[in-house]
Structure 1
């Protein structure tokens, strides 16, 4: 059985900082809604305090996490040891979506290296940290980051990125309007 903590400990922070990938899990309250698990690469995660984390969320073909946070706020982060001693570490909490051109964005963005295609910051207040063995997680070797998304974003104008967000990131697969989608609805009003 794993160990449970109420905050991120120093050894947890050290482990998290070494990881090259993490996973974010969320789900809507809808009984038949889809659970989402999303891998995140690049240097986008920041530990802001023992109970706060945030990551710079890059443009993707969907925006499920954002929709789920609007729906109920629940979020889980998972980190796996692919090298060295085995370990799985999960952070559980309540999250919120921070959009560009808001006071909260201006407060948080200095913590990040702004990457092409950045669309929002996902902020989470962590209430539970759980570790487990990870004995069956295989070893993998890190070969580097893909630059495909950044190159794609660099080849788009601001207007083209906005149109992409409007088309692909405004509504979840379960029909939940995201904060990005709310911007477009409010712009019409």
Structure 2
């Protein structure tokens, strides 16, 4: 697993790592999810602390299902198109770190 070190998100610190398909840990983590053509990694986060605000005015939400956009996008591009797209558009993360392959 590739360690990204400690990250702070909304005031909380966590230790995060990524497991792309070419690493041994990927199979164990990806087995927890439905197989998807566009899947390129699993992000594993160890959370040290979770905080929230009061939430008194936050609207109630309900889960309505998974989105199918990744599946249709990946099917339209095909395996070679996905590789080309990632090489062109996803070489680094938004914070400049090397992205998943």
TM over 0.5: yes
Of 57, 60, 76 in structure 2, the residue corresponding to residue 139 of structure 1 is 60
- 1:74 and 2:7 matched: yes
Is this contact kept in 2: 1:94–1:124, CA < 8 A?
yes
Taking the TM superposition and a 5 Å limit, the aligned residue runs for 1:1-189 are 72-74=5-7, 76=9, 92-140=13-61, 142-180=63-101
TM-score normalized by the length of structure 2? 0.74
8 Å CA contact 1:117, 1:150 repeated in 2:
yes
TM-score calculated relative to the size of structure 1: 0.44
Is the Cα contact below 8 Å between 2:4 and 2:16 reproduced in 1? Answer: no
> When the two structures are aligned, how many residues end up with a matched partner?
99
Contact residue 100 and residue 120 of structure 1 kept, 8 A: yes
Q: For the residues of structure 1 that align with 2:8 and 2:86, how far apart are their CA atoms?
A: 22
Alignment partner of 2:87: what SS? helix
In structure 2, do the counterparts of structure 1 residues 71 and 113 end up closer, same or farther at CA, with 3 Å as the change threshold?
Answer: closer
RMSD between aligned residues: 2.8
Q: Which runs of 5+ in 2 are unaligned?
A: none
User: Where does the alignment leave 5 or more consecutive residues of structure 1 unmatched?
Assistant: 1-68, 78-90, 181-189
